[in-house]
Chain A
Amino acid sequence: MSQKTYDRQNPAFYVLIVMLVIMAIGPIYLMLVTSLKLNVDIMSDTSSLIFMPTLRNYETALCDFLWYEPEHLRRCDPTFGRALTNSLIIGLVSTAITLVIGTMAAYALVRFRFMGRDVVSIWTLMMRMVPPAVLLVPVFGIWTFQFGIDGTRGGIILVYVALNLPFVIWILQSFIVQVPIQLEEAARMDGAGPFQVFFLVVLPLIKPGIAAASIFTFRVAWNEFLLANALADRNSRTVPVTIVNSLTEFDIDWGVIMATGMLLAVPPIIFTFMASRQIITGMTAGAVKG
Chain B
Amino acid sequence: MSTARANRLTPYLFLAPAGIVLAVALFYPICYMVYASFLDWNPSQRIGEADFIGLRNYTKLFSDAAFRESMWVTIKFSAVVVTIEMILGVGLALLLDRNIRGMSVLRTLFILPMMIAPIVVGLMWRYMYHPTVGIFNRTLTDWGFEPIPWLADGDWAFASIVIADIWQWTPFIFILSLAALQSLPASAIEASKIDGASGWQQIIYIKLPLMLPVLIVTLLLRLIDSFKVLEVILVMTNGGPGLSTEILSIRINRTASEFRELGEAAAMSNLLLIILLILTFAMFIYNKAQEVRAQRMRAVEEEA
Residues of B within 8 A of A247 (CB): 123, 235
Residues of A within 8 A of B99 (CB): 4-7
Is A223 an interface position by the 8 A CB rule?
Answer: yes
Residues of B within 8 A of A162 (CB): 21-22, 24-26
Residues of B within 8 A of A209 (CB): none
Of all chain A residues, which has the CB nearest B183? Answer: A290
Q: Are B32 and A138 in contact (CB under 8 A)?
A: yes
Is A200 an interface position by the 8 A CB rule?
Answer: no
Is B257 an interface position by the 8 A CB rule?
Answer: yes
Q: Are B179 and A284 in contact (CB under 8 A)?
A: yes
Q: Are B231 and A240 in contact (CB under 8 A)?
A: yes
Interface stretch (choices B145-153, B200-208, B248-256, B296-304): B248-256
Is B175 an interface position by the 8 A CB rule?
Answer: yes
Is A52 an interface position by the 8 A CB rule?
Answer: no
Residues of A within 8 A of B277 (CB): 126, 129
Is B92 an interface position by the 8 A CB rule?
Answer: yes
Residues of A within 8 A of B109 (CB): 21, 24-25
Bound-complex Cα distance A13 to B47 (A) = 61
Bound-complex Cα distance A258 to B126 (A) = 11
Bound-complex Cα distance A214 to B113 (A) = 19
Contact among A112, A129, A142, A240 for B276, CB-based, below 8 A: A129
Q: Which parts of B99-140 form the interface with A (CB within 8 Å)? A: 99-101, 104, 106-121, 123-125, 127-128, 133, 135, 138-139
Residues of A within 8 A of B265 (CB): 136-137
Residues of A within 8 A of B114 (CB): 283
Of all chain A residues, which has the CB nearest B112? Answer: A272
Distance between A104 CB and nearest chain B CB, rounded to angstroms: 4
Residues of A within 8 A of B218 (CB): 287
Residues of A within 8 A of B128 (CB): 27, 30
Distance between A46 CB and nearest chain B CB, rounded to angstroms: 10
Of all chain B residues, which has the CB nearest A276? Answer: B108
Q: Which parts of B13-37 form the interface with A (CB within 8 Å)? A: 14-15, 17-19, 21-22, 24-30, 32-33, 36
Residues of A within 8 A of B269 (CB): 133-137
Of all chain B residues, which has the CB nearest A159? Answer: B25
Q: Are B115 and A271 in contact (CB under 8 A)?
A: yes
Bound-complex Cα distance A135 to B268 (A) = 11
Report B261-290 CB contacts with A as 1/0, cut-off 8 Å: 010011001001100110111001000000
Q: Are A16 and B124 in contact (CB under 8 A)?
A: no
Is A47 an interface position by the 8 A CB rule?
Answer: yes
| Given A130-B26, A272-B111, A28:B183 Cβ within 8 A | no
Q: Are A133 and B17 in contact (CB under 8 A)?
A: no
Report A16-59 CB contacts with B as 1/0, cut-off 8 Å: 11001101110110110010000000110001000000000000
Of all chain A residues, which has the CB nearest B31? Answer: A138
Is B243 an interface position by the 8 A CB rule?
Answer: no
Interface stretch (choices A63-71, A73-81, A261-269): A261-269
Report A69-104 CB contacts with B as 1/0, cut-off 8 Å: 000000000000000000000000000000011101
Residues of B within 8 A of A223 (CB): 116-119, 231
Distance between A248 CB and nearest chain B CB, rounded to angstroms: 8
Contact among B32, B113, B125 for A24, CB-based, below 8 A: B113
| Given A133-B252, A145-B46, A162-B21, A138:B33 Cβ within 8 A | yes
Of all chain A residues, which has the CB nearest B294? Answer: A289
Q: Are B228 and A131 in contact (CB under 8 A)?
A: yes
Q: Which parts of A239-264 form the interface with B (CB within 8 Å)? A: 240, 243-244, 247, 254, 257-258, 261, 264
| Given A101-B18, A198-B14, A134:B117 Cβ within 8 A | no
| Given A9-B98, A27-B125, A194-B7, A133:B272 Cβ within 8 A | yes
| Given A9-B100, A34-B127, A198-B14, A137:B33 Cβ within 8 A | yes
Distance between A281 CB and nearest chain B CB, rounded to angstroms: 9
Distance between B263 CB and nearest chain A CB, rounded to angstroms: 9
Is A232 an interface position by the 8 A CB rule?
Answer: no
Bound-complex Cα distance A129 to B284 (A) = 12
Q: Are A258 and B123 in contact (CB under 8 A)?
A: yes
Is B167 an interface position by the 8 A CB rule?
Answer: yes
A130-B30, A158-B21, A226-B231 are known contacts; what are 8 more A-B pairs with Cβ within 8 Å? A7-B99, A111-B11, A133-B230, A133-B248, A145-B46, A225-B118, A261-B117, A269-B112
Chain B residues with CB under 8 Å of chain A are 6-7, 10-12, 14-15, 17-19, 21-22, 24-30, 32-33, 36, 41, 43, 46-47, 92, 95-96, 98-101, 104, 106-121, 123-125, 127-128, 133, 135, 138-139, 142, 167, 171-172, 175-176, 179-180, 183, 214, 217-218, 221, 224, 227-228, 230-231, 234-235, 248-249, 252-253, 256-257, 262, 265-266, 269, 272-273, 276-277, 279-281, 284
Chain A residues with CB under 8 Å of chain B are 4-7, 9, 13, 16-17, 20-21, 23-25, 27-28, 30-31, 34, 42-43, 47, 100-102, 104-105, 107-109, 111-112, 114, 120, 122, 125-142, 145, 158-159, 161-163, 165-166, 169, 194, 198, 219, 222-223, 225-226, 230, 240, 243-244, 247, 254, 257-258, 261, 264-265, 268-269, 271-273, 276-277, 279-280, 283-284, 286-288, 290
